[in-house]
Amino acid sequence: MEAFEKNILPLDILQEKLQKVSNEKRELEQTKNEIIIQLGSVDSKLIEPELIEKPLKKCLLIYKKTLRENRKQLLQLLIDDISIKQIDISRTIRT
Task: Give per-residue pLDDT as tens, 48-74.
Answer: 888 899 999 998 898 899 999 988 888
- Taking the C-alpha atoms of residue 38 and residue 52, their distance in angstroms, rounded to an integer, is 28
58-61 long-range contacts, CB within 8 A, separation 24+: none
Closest CA to 63 of 78, 83, 49, 48: 78
Residue 86 gets which letter from DSSP? E
Taking a C-beta distance cutoff of 8 angstroms, is the pair 40, 33 a contact? no
pLDDT at 3 (0 to 100): 57
pLDDT at 73 (0 to 100): 87
Q: Examine the pLDDT at 17 and tell me if it is beyond 90.
A: no
Q: Rounded mean pLDDT of the chain?
A: 82
Share of the chain above pLDDT 70, in %: 86
92 by DSSP, 3-state: which? strand
pLDDT at 95 (0 to 100): 66
